[in-house]
Amino acid sequence: MNKLLEHDFLSLEEASKYTGFSKSWLYQLCHRRAIPYYKPGGKKTFFKKSDLDCWMMGNRLASFDEIAVEKINELSNKKS
């Protein structure tokens, strides 16, 4: 895994190890244009680590506690 941290771009196999997703799932995501990727010369697929990090963090779901606090804050603001 340390070797993955040494460079900015990852091959499909490296991206699979980095994200924990199978290579076939990453291919499907690429085909659907659901994940950013690079294909220099139209051949091998590469991923930029920072793109993968942003993509993986892009659909954060709030915890029940966070939702409850947000609702309490909304209610207290309406009363003011």
For residues 40 and 11, the answer to whether their CB atoms sit within 8 Å is no
pLDDT at residue 59, rounded to an integer: 82
Question: Which residue range(s) make up the domain with 58?
Answer: 2-79
pLDDT at residue 35, rounded to an integer: 94
DSSP string, 20-34: ---HHHHHHHHHTT-
pLDDT digits (tens, 9 = 90+) for 1-39: 556 556 789 999 999 999 999 999 999 999 999 999 999
CA distance 53 to 70: 26
CA distance 45 to 8: 14
pLDDT at residue 4, rounded to an integer: 52
For 54, counting Cβ atoms within 10 Å of its Cβ (0-12 exposed, 13-18 middle, 19+ buried), the class is exposed
| pLDDT higher than threshold 80 for residue 70 | yes
pLDDT at residue 78, rounded to an integer: 79
Q: Give the total number of structural domains in the chain.
A: 1
